[in-house]
Amino acid sequence: MQVSYQWLKDYVEIDITPQELAEKLTLAGLAVDVVKELGAEIEKVVTGRLLKIERHPNADKLVVCTVDVGQEEPLQIVTGATNVKEGQVVPVALEGAKLAGGLQIKRSKLRGVESRGMLCSGQELGMETKLLSPDMAHGILILPEDVPIGLDAKEVLGLTDWVLELDLTPNRGDALNMIGVARDVAAILKKELKIPVPKIVEGEERTEELAKVDILDADLCRRYVARVVKGVKIGPSPIWLQNRLRAAGVRPISNIVDVTNYVMLELGQPLHAFDYDKLAEHHIIVRRAQKDEKLVSLDGVERTLQPDMLAITDAAGAVAVAGVMGGLDSEVTDSTVNVLIEAAYFHPISVRRTSKALGLRSESSMRFEKGIDINGCLRAANRAAELMQQLAGGTIAAGAIDNFPNPITEKTIQLRPSRVNWMLGLEVPRQDIVEIMQRLQFRVQEQGEDLLVTVPTFRPDITGEWDLVEEVARLYGYNRIPETLPTGNTTQGSRTDEQQLKWDIRKVMTGCGFYEVVTYSFVHPRIFDLMNLPADSKFRNVIKLQNPLSEEQSVMRTVLVPSLLEVLQRNVNRRVQNGAVFEIARVFYPVEGQPLPEEVPVLAAVAIGSTPKTWNQAARPMDFFFIKGVAEQLLASLGVVDATFSRHQDPSFHPGRCAKIEVKGELLGVLGELHPNVIENYDLPGRAVAMKLDLNQLVATHRPVKQYQGLTKFPEVERDLAVLVKQEVAAGEMLSIIEKAGGNLLKAVDIFDVYQGTQVPEGFKSVAFSMKFQASDRTLTDEEINDKMQRIIKSLTAQTGAELRK
């Protein structure tokens, strides 16, 4: 919210500087981010009239102007502007003038012709081009013809003002207007608030005879006020009104439209002006939109409305989106003669949802979203009618249509001074509390030791006693509240099991050389082709965004690996050949009949190239065994037991180098080397390996609590075993058999050699195991160990056909 200091003084007497006012407002809860002086750099710029314009004798794109600036003799000024005409009043920079950006004006010659000054554009006077009309945005600023010449242009253009930019909290919708801010200023400075009272001269025709208003959905529109002004003349607004709108960041358009914006900024009530003659049967109907109902909004875009949106319609169809934007077909144009003024109250949530769904956010929608004063609609309509009559002529129809199905009464809240002092830790005198409430225009009644405070409807954010305590605190002074240490019971913060699991995963993955990344949840539909997924893959069933920023981010992802591959692809393009990244994020699966998707947390990791070379270890390729080792390290660190790895087929992975991870028959994840087609699609060098784990399954299987076990004092015994087994027998299967047959005495088993070649029959392989046996209560005997070894050999032979290698 941009607040003009000079405009604010119309409503309250201010005897302090803008900087001092900004400090007081900030201390009272209305934070002021910036205090900006308009025209701070501008000097010696006056108003002048163009008496004569002649062609430059030596330049086709320049003209020579004779300008009357109220001095004894007119000035000769050369300009290249194309929008100047004889008789216009323009700002003129005299010799020695200073303009925005530090530009200084001196007498000069342009292509042989003397120029004694410069005609100024709005940009050269420090004005924002977006706040100027299209013809003046990049040309000379044209002033109204009735502006006297020789005046200080800063005074005429309102550039002697200060603008305070407020950073309001969402609950203070009442401060999104000049009166709302002035109310707080009056309360802070203990001054009288002066609110303008509309004075209307009405004609003989009555509004009820000229128009009709029906509210079909009163739950979304609780009040609708309409007034009619006939015989208006459309034209530019007076300079004072244009200056105030620009100070507030609004571009002037025409007198009628500018009045609606002015009243919105003044009173906080958004208004809309319809061309009365373009409304079918002059009948306003407020209803929910029909499915796929069309409307071309004021910005020229065709909008498709849905039944959950509120529309303003006439007898023929939609003419506006309630609280968001008007329609192009009923807008006020230069040919408009009769105007219908709308001042209504629309449900905040409905306006916010509609604005978001249509991608439209306006000054009006912002105010409706935060809540306006429902009892201020008629006052705003009267104020607008008064100003339209003053600035555009015409006749105001008698009376107003005020469709108010369920009038709202002001709420009364009990305020206990003792409660105020207890909550603030202060001793605020009772009379001070009463005066603060009254200065905020709250009515107060005594009820024994307590107070009954009646809250006006312009403060919808005040709902309970605690809100009134906050009002006392901010006006009595936050800086007067003493510093105290917190008291009461404290609770030590801790992570949930899921949070701790993610934290542990990050530690393990980074310890294995992976970098964590964060990627977008929105992806391109082509990733499924890049990942080699078949047409009937369940992962192709995605949720499409209704208003995607681009095709690159048009659907919600169902797989996470492609996002990581894009990260590595960008690194490879920048000559980073080695890389290992992981991400913990959610994927989204649509649920039939449900508006929201199923969100599944997953862990994905991708690696390319080779591991870094260290002083005691050579670099090794990031192959299948590397990613399997990472998975084993992760599962072991998380206390996941009984995890098995077995061959698996996945279209995104290499057909012979892919494994699934299962725990007690439940699929935990998939890992392996990516399919050559996927690697080629992402233009990656060499091999790439990936892993994806379902975190929901991981939460269900991991053991977060580690149990302490004392170190045994008895020695361990190592034994090796080499067997011949068919090639198709999985090593993981053999490890499981050995662990089960070894029982509690077998503490560890590892594979240290796999051999195929000479001395090994064709179709077979030699697998060698290293085993460690140990007991916690005794030293093992040879007989016990031999017995375990025989059990292991018999189990391997019976279940895999393995033979002891001799």
Question: H helices within 302-449, ranges in order?
Answer: 348-358, 363-370, 377-392, 417-424, 430-439
pLDDT band for 671, please (50, 70, 90 cuts).
very high
| pLDDT number for residue 453 | 95
- Cα distance between residue 248 and residue 622, in whole Å: 61
Q: Is 673 annotated as a binding residue?
A: no
Residue whose token pair is 């001196």: 106
3-state DSSP call for residue 302?
strand
Whether pLDDT at 217 is above 80: yes
3-state DSSP call for residue 71?
coil
Sign of CA dihedral 777, 781, 786, 787: negative
pLDDT band for 319, please (50, 70, 90 cuts).
very high
pLDDT band for 551, please (50, 70, 90 cuts).
confident
Q: Residue 565: left if φ>0, alpha if ψ -120 to 50, beta else—which one? A: alpha
Distances (CA, A) of 166 to 24, 28, 193, 661: 12, 12, 20, 57
Q: What is the mean pLDDT of residues 416-436?
A: 93
- Cα distance between residue 519 and residue 533, in whole Å: 21
Whether pLDDT at 669 is above 60: yes
In DSSP terms, 582 is beta-bridged to: 516, 605
| pLDDT number for residue 418 | 93
Q: Is 470 annotated as a binding residue?
A: yes
pTM of the prediction?
0.69
The mean-pLDDT minimum among 121-130, 220-229, 383-392, 700-709 falls in 700-709
Q: Which residues of 545-562 are buried (b: 16+ CB within 10 A; e: fewer)?
A: eeeeeeeeebbbbbbbbb
Which of the 8 DSSP states describes residue 638? Answer: T
- Cα distance between residue 184 and residue 162, in whole Å: 18
Whether pLDDT at 102 is above 90: no
Q: Which residues contact 614 (CB under 8 A, 6 or more apart)?
A: none
Strands 395-398 and 202-206: parallel
| pLDDT number for residue 700 | 84
The mean-pLDDT minimum among 45-49, 331-335, 705-709, 720-724 falls in 705-709
pLDDT band for 409, please (50, 70, 90 cuts).
confident
3-state DSSP call for residue 480?
helix
Residue whose token pair is 């203070």: 172
| pLDDT number for residue 190 | 94
Q: Which residues contact 699 (CB under 8 A, 6 or more apart)?
A: 497, 498, 501
At 562-614, the pLDDT tens digits run 999 999 999 999 988 889 999 999 999 999 888 889 999 999 999 998 877 66
pLDDT band for 182, please (50, 70, 90 cuts).
very high
Whether pLDDT at 718 is above 80: yes
Q: Which residues contact 392 (CB under 8 A, 6 or more apart)?
A: 229, 232, 233, 234, 235, 255, 256, 259
**How many other C-beta atoms can be found within 10 angstroms of the C-beta atom of residue 454?**
14
Between 495 and 705, residue with greater pLDDT: 495
- Cα distance between residue 423 and residue 312, in whole Å: 46
- Cα distance between residue 110 and residue 203, in whole Å: 58
Residue whose token pair is 């750099």: 41
Which of 735, 664, 732 lies closest to 701 in space, CA to CA?
A: 664
Whether pLDDT at 439 is above 80: yes
What amino acid is encoded at 397 in this protein? A
| pLDDT number for residue 494 | 85
Domains of the chain are 2-38+162-189 (3.30.56.10), 43-156 (2.40.50.140), 202-403 (3.50.40.10), 413-479 (3.30.56.10), 497-701 (3.30.930.10), 717-804 (3.30.70.380)
Whether pLDDT at 649 is above 90: yes
Question: DSSP readout, 651-675?
Answer: TTEEEEEEEEEEETTEEEEEEEEEP
pLDDT band for 617, please (50, 70, 90 cuts).
low
| pLDDT number for residue 355 | 92
Sign of CA dihedral 509, 513, 515, 521: negative
| pLDDT number for residue 614 | 63
At 1-18, the pLDDT tens digits run 899 999 999 999 999 999
Whether pLDDT at 561 is above 60: yes
Whether pLDDT at 707 is above 80: no
Question: DSSP readout, 668-731?
Answer: EEEEEEEPHHHHHHTT-SS-EEEEEEEHHHHHHH---SPPP-PPPSSPPEEEEEEEEEETTS-H
Q: What is the mean pLDDT of residues 415-441?
A: 93
- Cα distance between residue 304 and residue 188, in whole Å: 47
Residue whose token pair is 């849905």: 306
pLDDT band for 704, please (50, 70, 90 cuts).
low
Distance between first and last Cα of the chain: 89
Q: What is the mean pLDDT of residues 372-390?
A: 95
| pLDDT number for residue 326 | 92
At 495-533, the pLDDT tens digits run 888 888 899 999 999 999 999 999 999 999 999 999 999
- Cα distance between residue 229 and residue 589, in whole Å: 55
Distance from the Cα of residue 426 to its chain's centroid: 39
Q: Is 471 annotated as a binding residue?
A: yes
Sign of CA dihedral 422, 428, 431, 435: negative
Edge-to-edge strand ranges of the sheet holding 598-608: 515-516, 579-589, 598-608, 688-694, 666-674, 653-663, 643-647
| pLDDT number for residue 245 | 95
Q: What is the mean pLDDT of residues 285-299?
A: 93
Q: Residue 353: left if φ>0, alpha if ψ -120 to 50, beta else—which one? A: alpha
3-state DSSP call for residue 452?
strand
Which of 320, 45, 330, 21 lies closest to 182 in space, CA to CA?
A: 21
| pLDDT number for residue 600 | 94
- Cα distance between residue 90 and residue 144, in whole Å: 9
| pLDDT number for residue 438 | 95
Residues of the chain with pLDDT > 90, as a percent, come to 76
Q: What is the mean pLDDT of residues 251-273?
A: 95
**How many other C-beta atoms can be found within 10 angstroms of the C-beta atom of residue 730?**
15
At 68-96, the pLDDT tens digits run 999 889 999 999 988 899 999 999 999 99
Whether pLDDT at 615 is above 60: no
Q: Is 529 annotated as a binding residue?
A: no
What amino acid is encoded at 223 in this protein? R
In degrees, to the nearest 5, what angle opens at C-alpha 376 toward C-alphas 443 and 464?
Answer: 45
